[in-house]
Amino acid sequence: MSTATDALQTRAEILKLARMLERDPAELAYLEPVSLADLCALRDHVTDVLFNANSSTLNRLATASKLLPAGLTATISERAFGPLLSARMAGRLEPEAAVSVASKLPTPFLADLAVELHPRRASAVISLIAPAQIAAITGELARRGEHVTMGRFVGHMGDPAMAAALGAMDNTTLLRVAFVLEDKDRLDHMIGLLQQPRLTSLVATAGQEGLWLEALDLLGHVSPERRRQLVANPLALDQAAVEAIVATVVKHELWPEVQVLAEHDAALRNRLASVHGT
Amino acid sequence: MGGAKPAEEAFETLRAQLGGELPEGLRKLDREQLVHLDAAVREARHRQAQALAAAGDRALSHVPRLLRGPIRRITG
């Protein structure tokens, strides 16, 4: 990945940290010179501190919830605890009990909770949530433009849930989520769950929506086979698209990522050669 | 803006708050920035503790009276 793309990922990481600390991301702009790896490590440490704080109280509440039916626990979660504390509690409940409570909560509340939840702390719960409910929550998060939140979760889902989540995203959302995906090692597998027509439509969407950075980043993180599936046909890019791609490649140093597009479009190939030669 | 030593102290204060874990790359930050980050973490912890205390009281009002005693015994 280029250093320029790293800078964009860094901003996403600062956004996640700012959310956790309930701060405006602009307040934490001084973290931009810190490396992406160090920022991820910092967020992990802050996550641990906040999730371990008040541990005994949260554990006692989780124990007490065993005395209550799931419906009442859901009511208490929504009306008394709210999304932040419910997110802190989620990983402390028995996963089956947590899923039972979640099944009784409204989708907007679960979307609020998802924003606050740290997937690593509730991985077992996430993996048990029914694909239909995952699709509903994903649809709500997509409507809110919560790409970073969705990007944190996808890696913790099984294939049926992941496929349901992908089905609830339009191509624009999918490209943006893929760009900020927390576990990029799963990107190839995730994209592999899409049918061929949708795979090829992603590049078309990138052109229509001006999402070439997201598309090039995606191409840079998938296997050669998946790249061939994503760019399976001649592209016939118009002049504006060629210029937009070249500008993105030059600005973010994405020369290896653009190769597969260049192989499928002569105009792009020629334009890149002229830029690279200057 | 502090010198090298105060920045080192602020780094150590933040590291202690984070349970002794802090990436070395954060030494790039100056004292003021480290103090800001430390305050942000501390305040988030404080807000969480306050929210939890208030939520515990609210939660009991939703619990049937019969179960409030057993719940109180567990939650302390």
> pLDDT tens-digit profile of A34-57?
999 999 999 999 999 998 888 888
Residue the block writes with tokens 């919830």: A65
Q: Give which of B42, B62, B65, B66 to mutate to test A binding, by max A Cβ within 10 Å.
A: B62
- List pLDDT tens digits, range A128-167: 999 999 999 999 999 999 998 999 888 889 999 999 999 9
Total structural domains in chain B?
A: 1
Q: How confident is the model at residue B21 (pLDDT cuts 50, 70, 90)?
A: confident
The counts of H helices and E strands in chain A are: 19, 0
Range of the domain at B63: 4-75
Q: How confident is the model at residue B59 (pLDDT cuts 50, 70, 90)?
A: confident
Q: Which of A30, A53, A75 sits opposite B49 (nearest CB)?
A: A53
> Span A77-100, mean pLDDT?
91
Question: pTM of the full predicted structure?
Answer: 0.87
Q: What number is the ipTM of this complex?
A: 0.85
Q: Rounded to the nearest 5°, which phi and psi values hold at B62? A: -95, -10
Q: How many CB atoms lie within 10 A of CB A79?
A: 14
Find the helix or strand (DSSP H, E) in which A151 lies: helix A147-153
Cβ–Cβ gap A53/B41 under 8 Å: no
Q: What pLDDT is stored for residue B75 in this prediction?
A: 77
Q: Which positions in chain A touch B59 (Cβ < 8 Å)?
A: 61, 76, 80-81
With a pLDDT cut of 90, the percent of chain A lying above it is: 69
Cβ(A232)–Cβ(A200) below 8 Å: yes
